[in-house]
Amino acid sequence: MKFAFRTDASLQIGTGHVMRCLTLANALRERGADCRFICREHPGNLLHLIREQGFEAVALPGESSERGYPPKAVQSDLAHAEWLGADWRTDAEAARAALGGVKVDWLVVDHYALDARWEAAMRPNCCKLLVIDDLADRIHDCDLLLDQNLVADMERRYDGKVPHHCGRLLGPQYALLQPEYAELHPRIPPREGPVSRVLIYFGGADRDNQTGRALAACLSLGRQDIALDVVINPNSPHADSIQAQAQGKGQVTLHSHLPSLAPLMVRADLAIGAGGATSWERCCLGLPTLVITIAENQKPIAEELHQQGLVQWLGHASEASEQSIANDLATIFDKDLPSAWSEKCQQFADGLGADRVCSVLLLSPETPLRARLARLDDEALILRWANDPLVRRNAFTTETIDPVTHRAWFRKRLRDLENCRLQIVETDDGFPLGQVRFDRDQEQWEVHYSMDSRCRGRGMGTSLLAAGLRSFRTTHPSDTIFGRVKPGNDASQKVFRALGFAEEATANELIYRQATG
């Protein structure tokens, strides 16, 4: 399969968008996919890093030094339009040219300055389109949307902003972390006891020098027994001043050009940093963190993390002074870290997000599937599938199912071993695609099935139901199975016909029967 990534890094944007796309591209390449990148040559771009990792990277013209940087705002209603360095039409035309006439299987877009207009213009050049977003501040035309953050009301955040058919990958379980985080996650013990080492990192676009402010706050406490690891962008306009701060301070070590922050995070007892994508790297390794947000879009994320007890949010950059940071640090330094803080962090991210996203992107009718009986811990998953708008529209009872009613129904079904077989169909690596349920109706079995919205549009319906039927036939080889379908549900009609079910038409429904295995 062929993938193309449209994303940028710059002194204004930072490096996080490109870094998480690189993580996903590496995971896809390990599974045999071909990946290429399209990026503008903004100051602070990461084209060299993309190429060093063995990917083709097409460079679009950036802003020249004569014109200055950041660029003048482009006429647009998007809050981050100026980050693109061109208007969306010009960028789409350049992106199409960069693809060289190749129609990719997936176009992956990770850019705050692009929306549905750009995405619609790129539709002829891709089979499917994935948007990676954090803001939920604009309309998208995509087949799949990924937001790896923990934000209040996450499930409804993109309502009205993506098409009805769009699948959503929401939350830290889809955080795109480098493979070593998953490897380290079960190995690193929780932090507890006194703080002896602090990691300071504010990302690749620390324009207001929060790094220097946090370093000054640490040094003002005079705790030479506490080592400080400080990660800086060598292209930052503040790099020289931070180096001057560290001069002669034996407890301070400066780092740059790191392939990964994981080794420093493992060594640290506490971190001070921004509220961006690094939040999930820190959580994965159980690193307690003091967060100072440096961009408006980080505020809702930091607020939710603070409410959940995963971080201590010290406020926005304009609110957190050197003295206030020092006061908060002194409080922590004077008492032991509770192990519960670190343990809670590790529960929210396991480092396997890139694998989960790959499982969705690489689905095809040839993907091997297996069916297993539902477990008690599948309750929330099955309720989400049941209340999917398309499922409710195609159901004979269209009302939304409330959690209390569903719990009673679900638990009753699990205990009714003679009359119900409720199955979860999943890939070999455990990604759940949907459910197939068989309910006894006298001497026959009525079959129901539904597919996760994230997996639709890949021709998987027949494979899903076939996997459920194979499993059911191992114990009921000759029982009659039938399904009921609304006349307007063309997709289900095609699935039943493809599996050899005989069709019977009535006034209000179509009935499909399969008498033998």
Residues 153 and 188 both lie in one domain: no
Instruction: List residues bridging with 39 in a β-sheet.
Output: 59
The CATH number covering residue 231 comes to 3.40.50.2000
Range name among 33-37, 275-279, 346-350 with the lowest pLDDT average: 275-279
Residues 275 and 148 both lie in one domain: no
Question: Does 353 reside within a domain?
Answer: no
Contacts of 454 (CB under 8 A, 6+ apart): 144, 167, 168, 169, 360
The CATH number covering residue 76 comes to 3.40.50.11190
Q: Is the dihedral of CA 155, 161, 167, 169 positive or negative?
A: negative
Answer yes or no: is pLDDT of 65 > 70. Answer: no
Residues 162 and 52 both lie in one domain: yes
Answer yes or no: is pLDDT of 136 > 80. Answer: yes
Residues 278 and 145 both lie in one domain: no
- Rounded Cα–Cα distance for residues 262 and 120 (Å): 38
pTM (2 d.p.): 0.87
- 302 in Cβ contact with 276 (< 8 Å): no
Could you tell me the CA-to-CA distances from 232 to 253, 325, 375 in Å, in that order? Answer: 11, 19, 47
**The pLDDT of residue 72:** 52
Residues 191 and 334 both lie in one domain: yes
- Rounded Cα–Cα distance for residues 200 and 15 (Å): 16
Q: What is the mean pLDDT of the chain?
A: 93
3-state SS record for 327-391: HHHHHHHCCCECHHHHHHHHHHCCCCHHHHHHHHHCCCCCCCEEEEECCHHHHHHHHHHHCCHHH
pLDDT tens figures, 378-394: 999 999 999 998 899 99
**The pLDDT of residue 255:** 96
Confidence of residue 234 (pLDDT cuts 50, 70, 90): confident
- 481 in Cβ contact with 472 (< 8 Å): yes
The CATH number covering residue 451 comes to 3.40.630.30
**The pLDDT of residue 254:** 96
Question: Does 357 reside within a domain?
Answer: no
Residues 328 and 369 both lie in one domain: no
Could you tell me the CA-to-CA distances from 261 to 5, 265, 282, 489, 495 in Å, in that order? Answer: 23, 6, 9, 50, 48
Question: Does 67 reside within a domain?
Answer: yes
**The pLDDT of residue 420:** 97
Instruction: List residues bridging with 371 in a β-sheet.
Output: 425
Answer yes or no: is pLDDT of 330 > 90. Answer: yes
Tokens 């007892």 -> residue: 269
Confidence of residue 63 (pLDDT cuts 50, 70, 90): low
∠298-301-305 over CA atoms, to 5°? 135
Residues 335 and 410 both lie in one domain: no
Question: Does 339 reside within a domain?
Answer: yes
Question: Does 358 reside within a domain?
Answer: no
Question: Does 299 reside within a domain?
Answer: yes
Residues 113 and 52 both lie in one domain: yes
Answer yes or no: is pLDDT of 75 > 80. Answer: no
- Token code pair at residue 377: 């811990």
∠190-191-197 over CA atoms, to 5°? 145
Residues 423 and 445 both lie in one domain: yes
Residues 46 and 132 both lie in one domain: yes
Instruction: Provide the percentage of residues in the chain whose pLDDT is more than 90.
Output: 82
Domain boundary pick from 170, 193, 215: 170
Question: Does 356 reside within a domain?
Answer: no
- If you average pLDDT over residues 269-286, what whole number do you get? 94
Residues 11 and 160 both lie in one domain: yes
Q: How far, rounded to the nearest angstrom, does the alpha carbon of residue 118 sit from its chain's CA centroid?
A: 21
Answer yes or no: is pLDDT of 48 > 60. Answer: yes
Residues 321 and 391 both lie in one domain: no
Number of domains forming the structure of the chain: 3
Domain boundary pick from 170, 196, 217: 170
Give the CB-side neighbour count of residue 353, counting CA atoms within 13 A: 27
Domain enclosing residue 427, as ranges? 364-514
Question: Does 354 reside within a domain?
Answer: no
Domain boundary pick from 139, 170, 201: 170
Answer yes or no: is pLDDT of 76 > 70. Answer: no
- If you average pLDDT over residues 296-320, what whole number do you get? 92
pLDDT tens figures, 189-216: 999 999 999 999 998 778 889 999 999 9
